[in-house]
Amino acid sequence: MEFTLEHTDANTKARAGTLQLPHGEVQTPIFMPVGTQGTVKALTSKELEDLDAQIILGNTYHLFLRPGGEVMNKVGGLHTFMSWKRPILTDSGGYQVYSLARLRKLNDEGVTFQSHIDGSTFTFTPERVVKIQEELGVDIMMQLDECPPTNATKEQIDKAVERSFLWARRAADAWKKPDTSLFGIVQGGLHIDLRQKSAEHLLTLDLPGYALGGFSVGEEMKEAYPAIDASADFLPAHKPRYLMGIGFPEDIVHAVGSGLDMFDCVLPTRCARTGMCFYSEGRLRIKNATHRDDLQPIDPECTCYTCRNFSRAYLRHLFIANEITAIILMTIHNIHFYLDLCRKMRTAILQDSFKEFSDSFFQSLKYL
């Protein structure tokens, strides 16, 4: 992996860069659609290419359970399995340490999970997680980390920082495949001093990239802004900076202004399944009666397939009628919106006009 920092906005910390990865080039800032189980929900790989998604995200925990390593080895990796030729990043299962807390036990050796599918038990160690991701053949893999909830005590969060660094060091020692790059994950909750401690530990490993984990785990996002802003400054400028799992457009715009490069979240696909669309003025609920005979597209400014061909009235009709086409069309729109937002931010950064872009973006927001 090679990362080139092309430009930093003259008036903010926003950055534009390029990642050269084994399966292609990625221009930052970038949003990575989430394909947890080898698919971005409701979209084919061809549709993702048409949307110009440069990189997508998979999940080691879920792919380990289904379809499993035997199938992946037989087909030659995740790219071949899902017919996706562009880069893939895989999360390590660290988020499941938080989200599946009732189904796991952890200690310094690793995490023992009880499968949410069939109840069987298995153990993830830092070394095993690296091996699984190398076998998947992905471009970027994440270390196994402990992701504590926001309401954990500072002492508990500090312990997670220490354990995550222990696991990062073991993951770095286990990393053998040079065309799959390993990223470390900074923990520390909302405590800036713990974030700094975590980052300083991880930088001693000189990994190809670094991520901020442990956000969006129970806190209001604006409560997390100070820790996000400070943590970005703890990361090296010459390496990619990834903010994990943060997902509303306004949060991404704020984070780009703080100097972060890479983002992922399930929100655009999940919201499409519940009838929420993102657009230039905020968020729109398609089932609202006001859209019953509304013949304009979701967003008159949008150039996606959905907005070029279908009205709010039609989408509302499909959604109310429980037609799966509604979910497909709204997912296409939402993913396009996120990707296009990143393209617009990149252009603004390169023109030293990110502050004007950000101010205009926030001034335009309203909710229907």
CATH superfamily name and code, 2-265? Queuine tRNA-ribosyltransferase-like (3.20.20.105)
Is 91 annotated in the active site?
Answer: yes
Looking at the chain, the domain(s) classified CATH 3.20.20.105 span 2-265
Going along the chain, which residue ranges are E strands?
2-8, 15-21, 24-28, 30-33, 56-59, 88-91, 104-107, 110-114, 121-124, 140-142, 181-186, 209-212, 241-243, 262-265, 276-279, 282-285, 366-367
* Structure token digits, residue 341: 């937002």
Residue in 91, 158, 261, 299 annotated catalytic: 91
pLDDT at 51: 98
Is 264 annotated in the active site?
Answer: yes
pLDDT at 368: 42
pLDDT at 367: 62
Residue ranges, the chain, pLDDT below 50: 368
Residue in 139, 145, 261, 264 annotated catalytic: 264
pLDDT at 98: 81
pLDDT at 95: 85
pLDDT at 302: 97
